[in-house]
Structure 1
Amino acid sequence: MASAAEQLASSLNLGVLAKATELKKRIWFTLGALIVYRVGTYIPLPGVDTSVMGELMAQHGGGILGMFDMFTGGALRRMTVFALNIMPYISASIIVQLMSAALPSLEALKKEGESGRKKMNQYTRYLTVVIAMFQAYGITLGLESMRGSFGPAVIDPGWFFRLSAVVTLVGGTMFLMWIGEQITARGIGNGISLIIFSGIVANLPHALASLLELGRTGALSPVFIVGFMIIAILVIGFIVFMERAHRRVVVQYPKRQVGSRMFGGDSTHMPLKLNTAGVIPPIFASSILLIPATIAGFSRGGGPAWVNWIVSQLAHGQPLYMALYAALIIFFAYFYTAVVFNPQETADNLKKYGGFIPGIRPGNATAEYFDYILTRLTTIGAIYVAAVCLLPEILISHYGVPFYFGGTSLMIIVSVTMDTITQIQSHLLAHQYEGLIRKARVRGRVR
């Protein structure tokens, strides 16, 4: 841990950062793009009374609407042009990844290199438009049926409003997708992840103010608030430790002789992350479990008694909800890990390039070895993700802690921050190498 901290401090040296002009341009470009995104989250959708949507979110903010509003950075609550945010693109990406694992044609396309990656990205964009159109149309129909204390949500309902709203919302999603791609190419970090990250972080001050307000009014004791802050810091540290944890699998390459020279014989390692699935399992699990509660909230308690009983058992903090939440997280951890990591394909690639694991035969035996290791790692990773998500869930349900302090949001914040810092370190290291090369060339010319 000490060596990692020293490496981080040396990599983020301000003197080196001041000389890295290319890195500074990338950082400024990223900040400018995120500012444009945040400004767009305050531009209201034409023809909509945003106060009605605010009332709805105040009543049903604990359901799936609250989770989506967290990911959109408050854009859904304010019903702005970025109300859909980047979520249709993420859904399309996940669907394309799942289809590539199920359809041989897409799996072969993924193996074609850069050209195949471009085609897969194009398919993802097309599917994003389709998903965004369906979601936008559903939002427009829902807005037309909403009424608040001051009147209807839509000033002039009809087909003209539906068409203009769908075009605006879909255009906002495609614009955010373009911004995310530009950040990835010309900025620093992953653009799509940074958009979600900035939306969550932008609302953290408001969530912290709400928490302190609960302490001021006496709803929460000061001792509990201090204890909660300490627990949050410890959870963040635990997430950092677990996200950096990985298993190193030693890979050996045999020696080969070309003419009179000997090549190869190198030994390297393949890092397998403890949490390969990332934040996908809690996002999927939350979405599935919050749908019944949200539907029941819209029906205002109407419906069969058995439906109301199931919904009450699936409320936040109930034993059934906690058990199903943990089970779904573990299931999706295994499922998504199997999608993103193919042991047989990895073993075939090692065999193709002459690599092998010491003591393990190339081919099927190597694939079985990878599957054995990955199963054990995923078991630990799934339990870790479930524990991180369940602890804040208890605090949210029993003590009224704001939704933004949930385990999913903390995992997204920590993961994106670590990834961005890693990329900054890589750029700084490349800049230092370029400086050493230039100095060596100058000394060679002088001599």
Structure 2
Amino acid sequence: MFKSLMNALKVKEIRMKILFTLFMLAVIRFGSAIAVPGMNIEEFKAWLASIKEGDTFGFLDRFTGGSFESMSILALNITPYITSSIIVQLLTIAIPKFEEWQRDGEDGRKKLTKLTRFFTIALALVESIAMTIAFSRADYLAEGNKVFLAIQIIAAFTAGSAFLMWIGERITDNGVGNGISIVLTINILSRMPNDIAALFGQFVIGKPIARGVVSAIIIFAVIIAMVVLVVIFNGAERRIPVQYAKKIQGRKTYGGNRMEMPLKVNTAGVMPIIFAMSLFQFPVLITQLTGYKSDGIWAEISKYLSQGEWCNPNHWNYSIGLLVYILLLIFFAYFYTSISFNPIEIAENMKKQGGFIPGIRPGKPTSEYLTSILNYIIFIGACGLIIIGVLPIFFNGMFGAKVSFGGTSLIIVVSVILETIKQIESQMLVRNYKGFLED
């Protein structure tokens, strides 16, 4: 990996793309330190610290790189864009017109991208208004005209989210890798140094030498083991052989080659963990921001989630909460794969191109075979997600080691880094191939 990166830096074109990406990331971190105008930041931080015992906003902090905690102009970050992307993907199934756009190639992709932008701005505006109303009720606004301050805050939050969306697209066009994924990765990585320092302060510093050394070794071993597990899990795939029939046109023979269709074990990626964690955190986020209080079952659920009791082994509801979380991971693993992978469409495309799986007839038998294989793979992938997603929660509940680089974060970081390195290597390969032709 490092050798590929060093070779890429020797090429001016790729070097400029890497430098452009790094410059955009520096701009993001600089913007994360600029406080939003019109708010009493100190009072907000004090309130946030008072309710953070259950890690209510931990999920949001990971995806915003601490921007929400510091209440910067980038507090919403790219969460509206992620949500709007999910909505558009779901709409491509529910609305035939959007499904037609998805099949139209580059033109259809541009239309869906434009629609995603509109949804992002709309969601950012709605979230900004809701947050500003909550802050106004809690008297976190600065002294002055409350209406003017509210408009100022709403504009800053919405513009910050739109600006990050623009940066992500510029990185995709002029930099390396997928821009939105890289923005999300830098947000997660920015939290890791503080978390590692907190771990050492909690388990190593101030402890007896022997205990401190053992604790440090265990911390590094757990982190490395999690990274290795994610790398293996992310790269695992089932390869299905596909044979293409020979076609004779004139004096030339086409086809007849044998290929392999790779099916990733982690077909749904990190989305099941994001959805499951969102269901646990979203009700608490709403109640905390709005200050809603009641004595009914909603209050009990909110208290149960906000205090982190669902991941506390000392609480009697631990097994129930953990079981619900595992079931949600399995459900969303199957759900998201069903909307992103269509065996019937794949089988039809293979049939049109003269391809078939050895021993399986083209058409419906092929789609049924792919469905059976896919269901088996999804279950294995869901089990892997459960291990990666539950281990950090287990260590959190057992040892109180609250960190941001849990299973979700590691899958995102590792996947983005590997994909970016592959893209750099492919650009190097294209350049070398062109050079060979010119010579």
TM-score under structure 1 length normalisation = 0.90
Summarize deviations over 1:106-133 as a string: whole Å, max 9, x none: 1112111111111111111111111111
Where does the alignment leave 5 or more consecutive residues of structure 1 unmatched? 1-7, 441-447
Q: Match of 1:368? A: 368
Q: Pick closer, same or farther for the CA change 1:302–1:420 going to 2, 3 Å.
A: same
1:334-353 superposed matches below 5 A = 334-353=334-353
Greater mean deviation of Cα atoms: 239-248 or 418-427? 418-427
Counterpart Cα distance in 2 of 1:324 and 1:282: 13
Q: Match of 1:242? A: 233
Q: Match of 1:410? A: 410
Q: Match of 1:131? A: 123
Q: Match of 1:325? A: 325
1:185 CA displacement: 1.0
**What root-mean-square deviation, in Å, do the aligned CA atoms of Structure 1 and Structure 2 show?**
2.2
Summarize deviations over 1:206-252 as a string: whole Å, max 9, x none: 11111111132559963344313211211110110010011111111
Summarize deviations over 1:239-268 as a string: whole Å, max 9, x none: 100100111111111111111121111111
1:40-59 superposed matches below 5 A = 40-59=31-50
1:247-326 superposed matches below 5 A = 247-294=238-285, 303-304=294-295, 306-307=297-298, 309-311=300-302, 313-314=304-305, 315=309, 316-317=311-312, 318-326=318-326
Percent identity of paired positions between Structure 1 and Structure 2: 38
Whether the 8 Å CA contact 1:313–1:321 is kept in 2: the answer is no
Q: Pick closer, same or farther for the CA change 1:50–1:114 going to 2, 3 Å.
A: same
Q: Pick closer, same or farther for the CA change 1:299–1:142 going to 2, 3 Å.
A: closer
Counterpart Cα distance in 2 of 1:9 and 1:194: 18
Q: Match of 1:141? A: 133
1:85-100 superposed matches below 5 A = 85-100=77-92
1:203 CA displacement: 1.5
Counterpart check, 1:202 vs 2:204: no
- For 1:182, the aligned partner's letter is R
Summarize deviations over 1:23-70 as a string: whole Å, max 9, x none: 101100100111111111011111112222222332333444221121
Whether the 8 Å CA contact 1:313–1:319 is kept in 2: the answer is no
Counterpart Cα distance in 2 of 1:66 and 1:427: 37
Q: Match of 1:395? A: 395
- For 2:185, the aligned partner's letter is F
Whether the 8 Å CA contact 1:143–1:154 is kept in 2: the answer is no
1:310 CA displacement: 3.9
Q: Match of 2:427? A: 427
Whether the 8 Å CA contact 1:189–1:419 is kept in 2: the answer is yes
**SS in structure 1 at match of 2:239:** strand
Counterpart Cα distance in 2 of 1:302 and 1:225: 43
Counterpart check, 1:83 vs 2:75: yes
Q: Match of 2:154? A: 166
Whether the 8 Å CA contact 1:45–1:165 is kept in 2: the answer is yes
Number of equivalences: 426
Where does the alignment leave 5 or more consecutive residues of structure 2 unmatched? 313-317
Q: Pick closer, same or farther for the CA change 1:262–1:295 going to 2, 3 Å.
A: closer
- For 1:210, the aligned partner's letter is A
- For 1:97, the aligned partner's letter is Q
Counterpart Cα distance in 2 of 1:105 and 1:116: 10
**SS in structure 2 at match of 1:193:** helix
**SS in structure 2 at match of 1:405:** coil
Q: Pick closer, same or farther for the CA change 1:304–1:241 going to 2, 3 Å.
A: same
**SS in structure 2 at match of 1:252:** strand
Whether the 8 Å CA contact 2:131–2:289 is kept in 1: the answer is no
Whether the 8 Å CA contact 2:77–2:164 is kept in 1: the answer is yes
Whether the 8 Å CA contact 2:80–2:120 is kept in 1: the answer is yes
Greater mean deviation of Cα atoms: 110-119 or 313-322? 313-322
Counterpart Cα distance in 2 of 1:436 and 1:365: 44
Q: Say which of 160, 164, 176 aligns to 1:176.
A: 164
Q: Pick closer, same or farther for the CA change 1:74–1:264 going to 2, 3 Å.
A: same
Q: Match of 1:39? A: 30
1:154 CA displacement: 3.4
TM-score under structure 2 length normalisation = 0.91
Counterpart Cα distance in 2 of 1:301 and 1:257: 72
1:294 CA displacement: 4.6
1:378 CA displacement: 0.5
Q: Pick closer, same or farther for the CA change 1:403–1:99 going to 2, 3 Å.
A: same
Q: Match of 1:156? A: 144
**SS in structure 1 at match of 2:355:** coil
Counterpart Cα distance in 1 of 2:414 and 2:248: 47
Q: Match of 1:5? A: none
Whether the 8 Å CA contact 1:44–1:78 is kept in 2: the answer is yes
1:10 CA displacement: 5.7
1:19 CA displacement: 3.2
Q: Pick closer, same or farther for the CA change 1:55–1:157 going to 2, 3 Å.
A: farther
Whether the 8 Å CA contact 2:58–2:404 is kept in 1: the answer is no
Counterpart Cα distance in 2 of 1:120 and 1:369: 31
**SS in structure 1 at match of 2:404:** helix
Summarize deviations over 1:292-313 as a string: whole Å, max 9, x none: 4456667999632655554555
Whether the 8 Å CA contact 1:48–1:154 is kept in 2: the answer is yes
Greater mean deviation of Cα atoms: 158-167 or 123-132? 158-167
- For 2:272, the aligned partner's letter is P
**SS in structure 1 at match of 2:238:** strand
Whether the 8 Å CA contact 1:252–1:267 is kept in 2: the answer is yes
Q: Say which of 213, 216, 222 aligns to 2:201.
A: 213
Q: Pick closer, same or farther for the CA change 1:306–1:139 going to 2, 3 Å.
A: closer
1:86 CA displacement: 0.6
1:398 CA displacement: 2.7
